[in-house]
Structure formats: structure tokens, C-alpha cells
Chains A and B, each alone.
Chain A
Amino acid sequence: MSVSMFMDIMIIPHSPSGRRTLARPRLCYNQPMRWGFSIIIAACLLASLSLAHTRGKASRVFGKPMPLSEAALSAYVLERPAEMYTRWKDAGIRGRVAVVFSDRMFLEFSAGNPKYRRDDFPPYEPLRDWQEQNLNDRNPVSIGLRNNMLREVWYVMPPEKFMAQKTAITGKTRNPAIISVSEDTIRLGLRGTPVTITTSIPRITEAVIVDIDSSFLFGERPDWGIDDLRASGLMTDLMTVSISNQAEGFTAQSARELLSMLSGEKR
């Protein structure tokens, strides 16, 4: 507001009786200008809606999408789950949906905060760097979300593991993160970030990032899911197989065999 406008409001002419007298209208609503303002306002809203939506979509970075069976031929085998973050970073992906086949979530949030620098700007070290310093096998998905490689995560779990997660999540009274719970799906909003846990492979039309964790395939039901994966219709430009239960006998060689099965090279 300009100074003259402010003073205009401050110094209101008063009649001797103390009642305010209205100033002569300067700009009547019935002038054609009102139409001009209305059009500008409507245009502003449409422009901001369009700007917001396109900014979001334009921020997403994809590679070349392909079916899972094809992607299996060029998939990465990771010795540790933490490496999936490194692969995502190397691929330069951004704003993507990830589908993680696993009985664990790799979603541990970094404890604590970076150190506050009272008289510096910015007051904290770059947050991306700080997040990466805290990368470990329990949090690659969390760091991927925090650093905007991912915008949404779907977890596909074996039914028995899903039930255990469901009990853990819904057991807490008034958990505000729960958006909806059904028999085979839990929808969460983690500070607004959509996270879905389900027992069936989701139908997602855009190309997704896929990680298949050994805990999913070689847990309690070794054969579970291969055929479902091949028939899922999911498209991906980046696929990883991470080994989180190497101690149970699942090795890089096992992972490669798995990928051969998925690609159809080996039956």
C-alpha cells in the first residue's frame, strides 16, 4: 500500500457531529473498469492453477521407460539397500513415483537437525548434503523423498508382512498420518507425502522407479511375485534389486538369477 493510500485511510474526514462523511466516489463500480478487474482476476487464478500444475509436471525427470521384463536386463544389483539412493542420484531422476517390493520400508527419518549457524545465511548447511551424510541401509527411500528424487512411494508387501505393518500403524491411537485403511491397502500422508502400503501391484500409468528387495522375493515364499511382476504392466526406466538379507543366503548371483527369471531368459 502506498503512503498516500495509507494516509487516505488514516485521515478520514469527520463532520462536527463526529459522524464520518463519505468522500465522493472516485471510482464507481459501474464503470467498465470493473470488467477489466474481473477479467484480470479470473486470468490470474487460471494462470496460477496452470503454472502450479505445469511446474510440478515439468519438474519430473524421466529416463527411457520400458516394461519390467525388459528393464530386468539392465537392472542394477545392489549389495546394500543404501546403494539404491546412489543409483537414483546417478540417474538424475527427480519427482518420481517409486514402487518398492519389500517387507521393509527403508523410511527411517534422520534424527536430529543440522547445526544452527546463528549469524550466517543460510542458517543451516545445505540440507541435501546433510541428508546424504546420514544415508544408511534403513533410510534410502526417506532420503530419496527428502531430496526430491521421489515424490510418492508404493510398497508392495507379502500379505503376512502387510498385516504386521497394518497392526503396527493402526495400533497407535489417533495417528494423523493415516489417510485411509482397507483390507489390503494403507494410505499414509507423511507430512503430505503420499505413501501407500499394499499387497497387490499398483496400476500406475506413468513410468516408475522399481526396487525389488530380496526380503520380498526370498523371504517366506521364495516364488512369490515373479509372474505377477511380469504381468503387472508397470513401466520403469530404473530398476534395482537390493540385497537386504544377504546373511540368509541371498547373494548377488541369486539376484542375477532372479532378474533372468523376470526377463524371461530363464524359467
Chain B
Amino acid sequence: MRELKPAVVISAITALGFVLRAWGLPSQPLTSDDMAVALSAQNYIETGHLGPVMWNHPVLRNIIVYMTLKLAGGGVWGLKAASLMFGTLSIPLLYIAGRRILENETAALVGAFLLCIDPMHISFSRQAVHEVWMMFFILSGLVLTLEAIDRQRPLYLGLAGLAFGLGVASKWDVAVYMALCVIYAIQSRKREDRFDTESAAWDIGALVIVPSAVYLLTYMPWFGRGYGLGDWAFLHSSMWRATVFHEGYNEYMMELDHNASLWFIKPVGYATIAFTEAEPVALVSISNPLTWMLVLPAVAWMGIRSLALRSTKMALATACFVFGYMPFAFTSRPIWAHSAFSILPFGFMAVGMASVSLKERLKHGRWIFASYLVLASLIACALYMLAIGKGMDYEALRPLVMRFQPMGER
């Protein structure tokens, strides 16, 4: 029973996460991005062409959304099932990863709970765009890598490679986490005197070659247009340029927070406008300041603890955050807040660890800890209404929604 209790808690948190993400979804108006995702999926499967939305990113979303649309016979559930599923399942995965890395049940549960109630993550789990997918694939790959290394199960490393392959086929930034897992796998073997060339070759094969093959196979509809591998290289140079030069799909995007270095310094927001027959509905997602703004000190704390405890897993989580964040933080092109989802699980893990650590060290720590969770939940409740497009229904929230009105319409 002692082992089951956390499983019950995480099941409850996951169920809550699903309800928050699925509640009222059929009545939420579709945004132009939602419809463009459906068009892109159909366009890719029928013709092998990329776009119209996010053509410069890899193509897995087109394949999966087309499949879910087909399974559901079209409609909202078909369009958003993958985001809903990956968004919800990231919660227990964050717990599993946190538990392995931090070796602390409560900290892992807190991390998962913070993700469960995160308004920005909820908002994007309710949209067809695939911003929450990468977190799912990164966590899956990470958990399977840890399992493979800890228990000497090479097959799990192959599955980790599959997860990373699907992740990279969603967005390229997943390759950073994949590379860190390769380094971790080889280092672990060296540390435990289990290193030999063949095993290292297997690690690299499973975590580099498998993802490469998966990534390549997702381009089969594109190859069907008559292209060869040389053209594929050209396509990627074209995609790379479009990604590097990307400045949003409309002028309004530049009015939203787009500086990644501020993600964890101040509350940041993103809004998507859905145009309905009645009046426009704004899906406004704002980061929860009580969770996001603790991320940087908590990650620093996790980094220090990893050195003090000589914990390579904590070091891996810290490295995932740092190396995942750096390309965003130091780039000159605009990066919107939803790109933080790839590093957010490591941030929330760290916040979980720091809050549990403080709970145990401070006088009245339990009260402070409980108060923190209650306060974070209350703020999340208010931000949740904004995230699902109900902000204008509440007098107190209207000013927040109005702040996201396009400049030209104020």
C-alpha cells in the first residue's frame, strides 16, 4: 500500500489535468491556427506539401492530426485529440521523471501538480497546434533512457530513441535533450565501470540512429512528390532559414511577449483570437507568476544540490534546462512563451524540489508549503478562465483580456 499511495495521488492529479484540459472543449471556438492545422494535415497527406501553418517545422503533426481527424470523423476532438492526450500524459510523465531524478515522491508530485494547473500549458493542450507535444516526447525519452541505464534494459533505450525521434519530428529543439541523454548514457556506463565500445555504440545507435530513421520516415509523403535525398537536404536548408528568420505570422504576434530571456523574470502572456459569428474570443494564456518566477532560483538550487549530492540525474535535469533554454534566451529572433514547454518540466521539477526542501527546513514549513500550493492554485484558477476564453465573462478579468487587444483596436 505504501507504494500505491503516490500512484493514487498522481492518478488523481492526472485526472484533474485531463478535466481542466477537456472541459468545454467542443464549445471553444476554433482559431484560425486550429483550422490551418487541419488544412496542413490534409495538405501534407494528400499532396506531400508543407504548410500553410508552421511549414518550417518538421511534419509529424500533420501525420498525427490527420490520423486523429480520420479516427474521429473530423470535428474538434479529432483536431485536438493529440494535443489533449500529450498535454495530459505529460503530467504523470513529469512525476515519473521527477521521482527518478529527485528521488523524492513529494517533490515529483508537486512538479506534476504545477504542470497540471499551469494555465499556459492548459491553453495549448486545448489547441490543435503542437506546442505541448515536445514536452511529452522529451519526458518519454528521458524516462525510458533512465530506465534503460538503471536496469540494464537495452530495448528501453531503443524505445527512448523512438520517443526522441517523434519529438525531433515535431520540433528540432528536442535534439538537445536527445544529445544530453546520449552523453548521460555513456557517462553512466563509464562511472559504473560498464563501459565498452560495443555498448557505447548501442547507446548511440539507439539514441541517434533510431530517431534519425523515425524522423526520415515522417517525410515519406513529401518524398512522394518525386524528391530524392539531395532535395531533402535542400528542404532542410530552406526550413532552417525560415525558422531562423521567423518573425511571426502577423503583426499582432510582435505585440505579444516574445523575448525568451524574460520568461521566468516576469509574467508573460500569449493570446490567440478566435473569430466567431458573434464576437471575437481571446484565448489568453498567462504564465502563473507563483510558479514560473520561481523556476530560475529553483533550477540554480537543483544544480547546486546535484553537485553536493553527486547526483548525475539532477545534473542531467539541470543540463536539460540550461541547454534547452540557452538557444532561446540568446537568440535575436522573437520567441513566444509557449516555446518554454520543452524546458518547463525541468523547471517545475526544480520548484517541487526546492519547495519540499524548504518545507523540511523552515519553521512552519508545512504551513508555508501548503499556503504556497493553495495560492498558486488560486491564481491558476483565475488564469484558467482566461486560458479557455472565458475571461470576458468575469468583470475582474476583463482588464487582463483587454491588455491583449491588438494595438490598432484599442
Contacts and interface: CB of A to CB of B under 8 A. Distances in A.
Given A12-B100, A148-B48, A121 B70 contact: yes
Interface string A114-135: 1011111111101110000000
Contacts of A95: 225-227
Interface residues of B, number: 80
A221 interface: no
A113 B158 CA distance: 41
Interface on chain B toward A: helix, strand, loop, or mixed SS?
helix
B152 A48 contact: no
A3 interface: no
A26 B151 contact: yes
Nearest to A55: B223
Contacts of A10: 7, 92, 96
Given A52-B219, A52-B223, A174-B245, A41 B209 contact: yes
Contacts of B216: 48-49, 52
A52 B103 contact: no
Interface string B171-200: 000000000000000000000001010110
Point out which of B36, B99, B213 has the most chain A C-beta atoms below 10 A from its C-beta: B213
Interface in A3-60: 9-14, 18-20, 22-23, 25-30, 33-35, 37-38, 41-42, 44-45, 48-49, 51-53, 55-57, 59-60
A41 B226 contact: no
B103 A176 contact: no
Contacts of B219: 52
Given A10-B7, A56-B226, A123-B74, A192 B151 contact: no
Interface string B25-65: 00000100001101100110011111110010000000000
Interface residues of A, number: 69
Contacts of B220: 51-52, 55
11 contacts: A26-B151, A51-B217, A52-B217, A55-B224, A116-B39, A120-B74, A123-B35, A123-B74, A128-B47, A189-B238, A189-B241
Given A14-B3, A48-B216, 4 more contacts: A22-B150, A27-B152, A42-B209, A117-B74
The 4 closest A-B pairs by CB, nearest first: A95-B226, A189-B238, A25-B152, A192-B235
Interface of B: 3-4, 7, 30, 35-36, 38-39, 42-43, 46-52, 55, 69-70, 72-76, 78-79, 92, 96, 99-100, 103-104, 143, 147, 150-155, 158-159, 194, 196, 198-199, 201-202, 205-206, 209-210, 212-213, 216-217, 219-220, 222-229, 231-232, 234-235, 237-239, 241-242, 244-247
